[in-house]
């Protein structure tokens, strides 16, 4: 499947991932991409016992 993505101004957050995954990317001269740090806390990621407590 051929997918073309157009950035005519601003592609932000998770839309950036979709945009970069397209077979063909078209961008205007003044367009921007915004990539930011995750807002999901990663402090809970750890060993299996810790993850089990979180899951339960």
Please tell me the distance from the alpha carbon of residue 13 to that of residue 37, in angstroms, as a whole number.
9
Which H/E stretch holds residue 49? Answer: helix 48-55
Evaluate if residue 53 carries a pLDDT over 90.
no
Residue with the two structure tokens 């999901």:
40
pTM summary value: 0.61
Label residue 31 exposed, middle or buried (CB < 10 Å: 0-12, 13-18, 19+).
Answer: middle
The whole-chain average pLDDT of the chain stands at: 86
pLDDT for the residue numbered 39: 63
């Amino acid at each position: 499947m051929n997918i073309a993505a157009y950035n005519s101004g601003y592609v932000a957050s998770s839309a950036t991932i979709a945009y970069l995954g397209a077979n063909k990317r078209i961008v205007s001269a003044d367009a921007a991409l915004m990539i930011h740090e995750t807002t999901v806390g990663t402090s809970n990621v750890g060993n299996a016992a810790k993850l089990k407590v979180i899951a339960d």
